[in-house]
């Protein structure tokens, strides 16, 4: 039996397992089984976490298909809440890959995470011509499509009119285009009344209810294009994320919720 915790951030759901409790046979097949929504527990991502020292923790992120991910904003907030409930630590650090994320439990109950600085140049980013071709194919403005690196790869697409069918088609097309890096997170962003409605296709998962790193990428892209010059609310299906900046760092604040604890029998 493997003890687990299930949590969600705005409907983006996770299974958390302490690294010391992992089975010897921990592999992609195990992840796919536990993430299955009919025969497993069900989740968008499996999070393996470890205690390193007081106020310092680490987490590894695995998508439902068994592939690994390098960043997840919603999981960061969820782990921050779990640690606070266990150890009453309001300020802590969570190490994800080579990034150290500073997490704070706010007095209003929201969890704030400093997600670091976004990058707009990386080896995986395509030539401008490739983005232009796709933009024109779907009636989009190529100047309003931005690639963003937050430790994981994102492409942010600002649009006015794009059908759900086109979003699925474009999301699938971009997975094939970025197949060499394991796919890409696709962010469909629409400004409504000075807020942003966001839908995200997460690589290795598909469309999810919310994506914290996608919100950060969208905020960074909006600032780069000068669509945003202040704090902004990013809206998902079941709630909002509050985005701001500190120097060049992206600050994300939002809720997190514990759903259940239990034992997985495999």
Q: Is residue 178 part of a domain?
A: yes
Same domain (yes/no): 109, 219: no
Same domain (yes/no): 72, 145: no
Q: Determine whether 148 is exposed, middle or buried from the number of CB atoms within 10 Å of its CB (0-12, 13-18, 19+).
A: buried
Same domain (yes/no): 108, 205: no
248 is in an annotated binding site: no
Q: DSSP for the chain?
A: -EEEEEEEETTEEEEEEEGGG--TT-SHHHHHHHH-TTTS---SEEEEEEEEETTEEEEEEEETTS-EES--HHHHHHHHHHHHHHH--SEEEEEETTEEEEEEE-TTS-EEEE----BS--TTPPPHHHHHHHHHHTT--GGGEEEEESSSEEEEEE-S---HHHHHHHHHHHHHHTGGGT--EEEEEEEETTEEEEEEEETTTEEES--HHHHHHHHHHHHHTTS-SS-EEEEETTEEEEEEEETTEEEEEE--EEEEEEEE--
Same domain (yes/no): 167, 197: yes
Selected catalytic residue, list 43, 72, 147, 216: 72
pLDDT of residue 51: 96
Q: Give me the domain span that covers residue 185.
A: 128-246
Q: Is residue 176 part of a domain?
A: yes
What digits encode the pLDDT tens for the residues 119-129?
999 999 998 88
pLDDT of residue 258: 98
What digits encode the pLDDT tens for the residues 206-250?
999 999 999 999 999 999 999 998 899 999 999 999 999 999 999
Q: Is residue 123 part of a domain?
A: no
63 is in an annotated binding site: yes
Instruction: Say whether 152 sits in a helix, a strand or coil.
Output: coil
Q: Is residue 185 part of a domain?
A: yes
152 is in an annotated binding site: yes
Q: How many domains are contained in the chain?
A: 2
37 is in an annotated binding site: no
Residue 213, domain CATH: 3.10.310.10
d(CA 29, CA 14): 17
- DSSP-derived letter for residue 19 is G
Instruction: Say what angle helices 164-177 and 128-137 make with each other, to 10 degrees.
Output: 150
Same domain (yes/no): 260, 214: no
Same domain (yes/no): 241, 258: no
Q: Is residue 195 part of a domain?
A: yes
Closest CA to 48 of 62, 37, 34, 35: 62
Q: Is residue 160 part of a domain?
A: yes
Same domain (yes/no): 148, 85: no
Same domain (yes/no): 134, 233: yes
Q: Is residue 211 part of a domain?
A: yes
Indicate if 78 belongs to the active site: no
Indicate if 72 belongs to the active site: yes
Q: Is residue 232 part of a domain?
A: yes
pLDDT of residue 95: 98
Same domain (yes/no): 136, 237: yes
- For residue 162 the two structure tokens come to 């794009």
Same domain (yes/no): 136, 241: yes
Same domain (yes/no): 133, 206: yes
What digits encode the pLDDT tens for the residues 137-190?
999 999 999 999 999 999 999 999 999 999 999 999 999 999 999 999 999 999
Same domain (yes/no): 141, 107: no
- For residue 217 the two structure tokens come to 């990428």
Query: What average pLDDT does the structure give for the chain?
Result: 96
The confidence band for 194, taking pLDDT boundaries of 50, 70 and 90, is confident
45 is in an annotated binding site: yes
Selected catalytic residue, list 43, 78, 147, 211: 211
């Amino acid at each position: 039996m493997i003890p687990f915790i299930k949590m969600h951030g705005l409907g983006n759901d996770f299974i958390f397992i302490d690294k010391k409790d992992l089975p010897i046979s921990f592999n992609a097949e195990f992840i796919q089984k536990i993430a299955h929504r009919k025969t497993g527990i069900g989740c968008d991502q499996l999070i393996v976490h470890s205690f390193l020292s007081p106020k310092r923790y680490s987490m590894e992120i695995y998508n439902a298909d068994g592939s690994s991910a390098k960043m997840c904003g919603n999981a960061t907030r969820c782990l921050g809440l779990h640690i606070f409930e266990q150890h009453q630590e309001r300020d802590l650090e969570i190490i994800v890959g080579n990034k150290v994320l500073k997490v704070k439990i706010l007095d209003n109950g929201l969890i704030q995470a400093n997600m670091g600085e976004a990058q707009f140049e990386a080896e995986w980013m395509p030539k401008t011509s490739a983005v232009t071709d796709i933009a024109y194919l779907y009636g989009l403005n190529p100047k309003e499509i931005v690639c963003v690196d937050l430790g994981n790869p994102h492409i942010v697409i600002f649009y006015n009119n794009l059908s759900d069918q086109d979003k699925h088609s474009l999301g699938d097309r971009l997975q094939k285009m970025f197949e060499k890096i394991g796919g890409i997170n696709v962010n469909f962003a629409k400004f409504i009344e000075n807020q942003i409605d966001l839908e995200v296709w997460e690589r290795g998962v598909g469309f999810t209810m919310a994506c914290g790193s996608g919100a950060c990428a969208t905020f960074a892209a909006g600032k780069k294009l000068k669509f945003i010059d202040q704090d902004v609310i990013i809206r998902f299906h079941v709630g909002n994320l509050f985005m701001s900046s500190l120097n060049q760092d992206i600050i994300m604040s939002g809720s997190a919720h514990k759903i259940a604890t239990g034992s997985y029998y495999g």
